[in-house]
Amino acid sequence: MSKERKRLSAEPWLRARLIRDYVTWIEDVLRPSLKALQYGRVSSRTQHHRKNLDAQEAYCKFRLRKLGVPTNRVYREIGSGWSQDRERLQAAAADAQKNGAVLVAESADRFLRSRDFNTKKRPDVLPSHAEWEKLKEITLGVRLVTILPPDMHWRAVRSHQSRRGQRGKGRFGGRPKNRAESRRGPKKLRRLLLLDDALEMRDQGLGLGTIAKELGIPKSTIQRWTKGCQFSAS
């Protein structure tokens, strides 16, 4: 083992502590006036074709909605987390800086991966201080925020991503008990993707029938989604 690899293996706790210096948990910055832009990333087009970006975006939207944080723009990128050629991330940061918003991703590894990271051989390697500093430069000093705790252990993050992906594809592990159960995942993903639109349209005073027709969803479904919500136009 090279000296560099020995050093990386000896200081994982130090690199884990570094994360909190550059990325903040959403729970720690919540305030009524908080504005946020979303950022999602996958490493390959294969992941994109498997709807990983869609599920990532839907989960973040759902969590931000539950926390009462409005988001009106989403930036998506396909590329390595250690690359310095991050056009979409740079665009998102510039937009966030202009609008006084934070930039939100699902987890810290969506913003940055170590150059020494390998999904099979070295999944535990975290970015160095120099890599975080470069990211800070790329993102113009904009506050980076995550839905999951930024220093969550990589195994826990991977487990979450796996479960989120399974739910989005209607897979829950094991054999489904019946056909209805096997269809729950796509319905939940549809809800995550369209809930914001439905709530915004209700807030504008549109009727359940109009929203149902616009979104292609049964009126009873819209009614269930919006039950108990307070709207400014009502």
Residue 102 — pLDDT band, cuts 50, 70, 90? very high
Q: Reduced to 3 states, what is the DSSP secondary structure of residue 124?
A: coil
**Whole-angstrom Cα distance, residue 203 to residue 200?**
5
Give tens-digit pLDDT for 62-80. Answer: 889 889 998 879 999 999 9
Q: Which residue has the higher pLDDT, 11 or 22?
A: 22
C-alpha count within 13 angstroms, C-beta hemisphere, residue 208: 10
Nearest to 144 by CA among 198, 197, 108, 187: 108
**Whole-angstrom Cα distance, residue 26 to residue 113?**
20
Tell me the average pLDDT of the chain. 80
Which class is 9-168 in CATH?
Answer: alpha beta
pTM here is 0.69
Token pair of 172, please? 């829950």
C-alpha count within 13 angstroms, C-beta hemisphere, residue 130: 1
Q: Which fold has domain 179-226?
A: Arc Repressor Mutant, subunit A (1.10.10)
CB 77 within 8 A of CB 47: no
Q: Which residue has the higher pLDDT, 99 or 228?
A: 99
**Whole-angstrom Cα distance, residue 187 to residue 200?**
20
Amino acid at 220: S
In this predicted structure, the answer to whether residue 28 has a pLDDT above a threshold of 60 is yes
Residue 10 — pLDDT band, cuts 50, 70, 90? very low
pLDDT at site 8: 44
Token pair of 121, please? 């051989």
pLDDT at site 168: 52
DSSP label at residue 27: G
pLDDT at site 16: 74
In this predicted structure, the answer to whether residue 162 has a pLDDT above a threshold of 90 is no
CATH 3.40.50.1390 location in the chain: 9-168
